[in-house]
Amino acid sequence: MKLWTAFWNILRKDMRTYYLKPPNISWGLIFPLAWTGMFFVRSGSGLESIPVLLPGVVAVSVLFGTTSMLAVAITFEKKNRSFERLLLAPVPLELLMLAKTTGAILFGVANAFVPVIMALFLADLSELAWGAFVPAVFLIAVASTFLGLFIAVAVSEVFEAQTFSNFLRFPMIFLCGLFFPIARLPVFLRPLSYALPLTYGADVLHGAVHGGHSMPFALDFAVLGVFCVGLFAASLANIKRKWIA
Amino acid sequence: MTDAVVVRNLSKAFEDVQAVAGISFTVHRGELFGFLGPNGAGKTTTINLLTGLARPDTGSIRMGGIDCTDRPRAAQHLVGVVPDESNLYPELTGFENLCFCAALYGLPKAERRKRARELLETFALAAASDRKFASYSKGMKRKLTIAAGIIHRPDILFLDEPTTGIDVASARQLRQLVAELHDRGTTIFLTTHYIEEAERLCDRVAFIVSGRIVRIDTVEHLVQPVQEKHAVRISFATTPGDLQDGLSESFPTLGFTFAANDVLRVESDRPVRVGPLIRFLEEHGAEVSEARRMRPSLEDIFVEITGIEADAMRGEKEKKGGGR
Ligand SMILES: Nc1ncnc2c1ncn2[C@@H]1O[C@H](COP(=O)(O)OP(=O)(O)OP(=O)(O)O)[C@@H](O)[C@H]1O
Ligand SMILES: [Mg+2]
């Protein structure tokens, strides 16, 4: 009960001070819109291509939403030392970091549904397999949040966190089969694709939206799950090693 | 009854600095223990080691009977920490900050709000309770940081230089609050570089210099050797001629040193009778403007033991802290 009080209040404070701030909300809306628009213009296609583009736009919204929030919610607080307050609290480190990341995960999931809701008005999504789509969005949000956590723990300045995550995010968008199939990538890049969590999330999203996936859903979910656990564990180990040094 | 803090042979190095070099001490339950030392002595590092923000290289730590050596965060429910810099959330109000800190310790909502109001009242911050922390003045920030450190009524409170950088009136008020907490039974570990502060507040004091404890004792014991000495300070209106030899001849039981050209320090093992002394001086052409009995202090002992001039220590700090 005591731990729950701490967990809930950390989450609530982050939501109030970071996630529900008007600039962040509008960013969460504008970003997916811009991406969608850009791909329409580029592909020169009509509304019938929405299902093909939707997985990419959803995944990118989640990825950017989560990773950029963590740079603030963690790196910034580490920098101005308020994070020490959390480290001094009688809350297990695991729970503490879950509290700090849950906000970003929820923010990521909310971001994902901005393009989905837009697409609902513009295209026929009756074929969409929600049972795979929703858990995939959730797991992508978790995996990219923990990736953001991993980065936030590895650096000490907010701008470093942003640079570092851009360094990872942009290649990831093109390597994960979101906008072009991995099969069309040069052979030497393909192993890299399979080393990225988003590849597996993208595969489920494609499968759920228009049936075109290359791996069984069970495998995709399992690999995503392993990435989530691995990234979280690695971040915790880093926190213990670097912040309680 | 277990001791509140038991530290044995604790050390911690950063790259090329030995911040803490094998210190051992015990803080008894309910005690107000002072850690007195100059800049960079290792005071903050010691607090970080004790509160689970840093891992020791060697040594052991027990707090409230819990062995924290391998699990640095094991005793955090017992501990409150007031860091040397305010680290509350700038974008939350004073009230929200306190409620948040209380929630970290699992206090239920009604109690959080009650405690927060109470403390804002105690620290004379009630009028500012709905203002953002970022807009607080330095002294207000300090006070709220202390309130946040005690909101969960910790058994052991760590105060890192609570009065540095705030004005005299606020510093006095804070000292009073610390004394009250102490009276109510909270064990307090206080670091400071103000010798008078340690002397006034602390039951026992450790002198720490370059990561080593050079002396630990009760304030009474520490000042005892100087207490038994009697000192008088004589100031002259004009610089007198050379009197040293004449004085030593006429008053063989007294020790004389010129602290400056126009200040004479007289020391003795017995009370100094100033009458004959002043008469002698005036007869020899000196014009005495003031004769004052010196109260021996912890400062004398600190200077004697550490070789560090207390004024130098304070001066350096004032530049950093912006005065008291
Ligand atoms: N994180 C760190 N990395 C490297 N060196 C450090 C670190 N923390 C402290 N030190 C060094 O350890 C020594 C002790 O520092 P500490 O902050 O404990 O001193 P202090 O007694 O609190 O001084 P002050 O009165 O200035 O607060 C200093 O030489 C400092 O430079
Ligand atoms: Mg310090």
Domain boundaries, chain B: 5-223, 230-294
Contact by Cβ (8 Å): A189, A179: no
Residues B212-262 have pLDDT tens digits of 999 899 988 887 766 667 788 888 887 777 888 888 888 888 888 887 778
Please give the C-alpha separations between residue A158 and each of A163, A242, B282, B295, in angstroms, as whole numbers: 9, 17, 71, 53
- Rounded CA-CA distance A95/A73 in Å is 16
Q: What residues pair up with B82 in beta bridges, in sequence order?
A: B159
pLDDT of residue B233: 85
Which stretch of DSSP H or E encloses residue B266?
A: strand B263-268
Look at A90 and B105 and tell me if their CB atoms are within 8 Å: yes
The type of residue at A21 is K
Closest residue by Cα to residue B207 from B48, B23, B49, B54: B23
Contact by Cβ (8 Å): B306, B222: no
Closest residue by Cα to residue B88 from A86, A82, A90: A82
pLDDT of residue B322: 39
DSSP reduced 3-state for B202:
coil
Tokens of A21: 């701030």
Tokens of A184: 């069309």
Look at A90 and B77 and tell me if their CB atoms are within 8 Å: yes
How far off is chain A from B107, nearest CA to CA, in Å?
7
Residue B320 scores a pLDDT above 50: no
Looking at the structure, give the CATH architecture of the domain made up of residues B230-294. Answer: 2-Layer Sandwich (3.30)
Q: Does B116 touch chain A (CB under 8 A)?
A: no
Query: Span B306-315, mean pLDDT?
Result: 61
Strand order in the sheet with B255-260: B255-260, B263-268, B230-236, B288-294
Task: Find the domain containing A146 and state its range.
Answer: 2-244
**A-B Cβ pairs (cutoff 8 Å, strict):** 69
Note the CATH number of domain B5-223. Answer: 3.40.50.300
Which stretch of DSSP H or E encloses residue B190?
A: strand B187-192
Residue of B12, B61, B73, B159 best to disrupt the A interface, most CBs of A under 10 A: B73
The mean-pLDDT minimum among A2-11, A99-108, A206-215, B27-36 falls in: A206-215
Nearest CA owner, ligand 1 atom 17:
B44
Query: Span B114-137, mean pLDDT?
Result: 95
Look at A244 and B106 and tell me if their CB atoms are within 8 Å: no
Query: Span B52-76, mean pLDDT?
Result: 93
A129: phi then psi, degrees, rounded to nearest 5: -90, 90
DSSP reduced 3-state for B59:
strand
Mutate to test the pocket of ligand 1, among B39, B44, B159, B197 (most ligand atoms within 8 A of CB): B44
DSSP reduced 3-state for B228:
coil
Residues A125-157 have pLDDT tens digits of 888 889 999 999 999 999 999 999 998 888 877
Nearest CA owner, ligand 1 atom 30:
B40
Start-to-end CA span in chain A (Å)? 30
In angstroms, what is the C-alpha Rg of chain A? Answer: 18
When divided into structural domains, chain A yields a total of 1
Of the bound ligands, which one is closest to the alpha carbon of residue B21? Answer: 1
- Rounded CA-CA distance B61/B76 in Å is 13
**What's chain B's length in residues?**
324
Q: Does B134 touch chain A (CB under 8 A)?
A: no
Residues A19-49 have pLDDT tens digits of 887 777 666 667 767 776 776 666 666 666 7
How far off is chain A from B306, nearest CA to CA, in Å?
30
Residues B25-44 have pLDDT tens digits of 999 999 999 999 888 999 99
Q: Tell me, rounded to whole angstroms, the distance of Cα A110 from its chain centroid.
A: 11
A118: phi then psi, degrees, rounded to nearest 5: -60, -45
Name the residue among B55, B79, B87 with its Cβ closest to that of A81: B87
Q: Tell me, rounded to whole angstroms, the distance of Cα B64 from its chain centroid.
A: 23
The mean-pLDDT minimum among A104-118, A170-184, A216-230, B175-189 falls in: A170-184
